[in-house]
Amino acid sequence: MKYHRRLLIILLIILVLLFIAVNRQGLSLPGSKSPQNHFTTSKVENIPSPVESIPVDQLTTPDLILLGARQEAKNRTLYDASYQVIAYPAGDVSPDRGACTDVVIRAFRNAGIDLQQLIHEDMQQDFSNYPTNWGLNAPDPNIDHRRVPNQVTFLKHYGQKLSLDPVQYPEDWKWGDVVYWRFANGDEHCGIVSDRLGSDNLPLVIHNAGVCREENALLRWEVTGHYRYPSQ
pLDDT tens for each residue of 83-128: 999 999 999 999 999 999 999 999 999 999 999 999 999 999 999 9
Range from 1-5, 25-29, 42-46, 54-58 carrying the lowest mean pLDDT? 25-29
211 and 79 Cβ atoms separated by less than 8 Å: yes
Q: What is the 3-state secondary structure (H, E, C) of the chain?
A: CHHHHHHHHHHHHHHHHHHHHHHHCCCCCCCCCCCCCCCCHHHHHHCCCHHHHCCHHHCCHHHHHHHHHHHHHHHCCEECCCCCCCCCCCCCCCCCEECHHHHHHHHHHCCCCCHHHHHHHHHHHCHHHCCCCCCCCCCCCCCHHHCHHHHHHHHHHHCEECCCCCCCCHHHCCCCCEEEEECCCCCEEEEEEEEEECCCCCEEEEEECCEEEEECCCCCCEEEEEEECCCC
Angle at 207 between CA 204 and CA 209, to 5 degrees: 125
Residue 55 burial (CB count, 10 A)? 6
Instruction: Decide if pLDDT at 1 tops 60.
Output: no
Percent of the chain at pLDDT > 70 equals 82
Angle at 203 between CA 198 and CA 207, to 5 degrees: 105
pLDDT-derived band at 25 (thresholds 50, 70, 90) equals very low
What's the confidence (pLDDT) of residue 188?
98
Instruction: Decide if pLDDT at 230 tops 80.
Output: yes
Burial 98-119, CB ≥16 within 10 A → b, else e: bbbbbbbbbbbbbbebbbbebb
The size of the chain, in residues, is 232
What's the confidence (pLDDT) of residue 22?
39
pLDDT-derived band at 30 (thresholds 50, 70, 90) equals very low
pLDDT-derived band at 4 (thresholds 50, 70, 90) equals low
What's the confidence (pLDDT) of residue 41?
52
Q: Determine the Cα–Cα distance for residues 93 and 179; give it in Å rounded to an integer.
A: 22
Q: Which is more confidently placed, 29 or 176?
A: 176
What's the confidence (pLDDT) of residue 35?
38
Q: Determine the Cα–Cα distance for residues 11 and 176; give it in Å rounded to an integer.
A: 47
Instruction: Decide if pLDDT at 16 tops 60.
Output: no
For residue 73, give the nearest of 199, 206, 223 by alpha carbon: 206
> What mean pLDDT comes out for the span 57-64?
98
What's the confidence (pLDDT) of residue 23?
41
> What mean pLDDT comes out for the span 182-192?
98
Flag whether the pTM goes above 0.85.
no
Instruction: Decide if pLDDT at 20 tops 60.
Output: no
Quote the mean pLDDT of the chain. Answer: 89
pLDDT-derived band at 232 (thresholds 50, 70, 90) equals confident
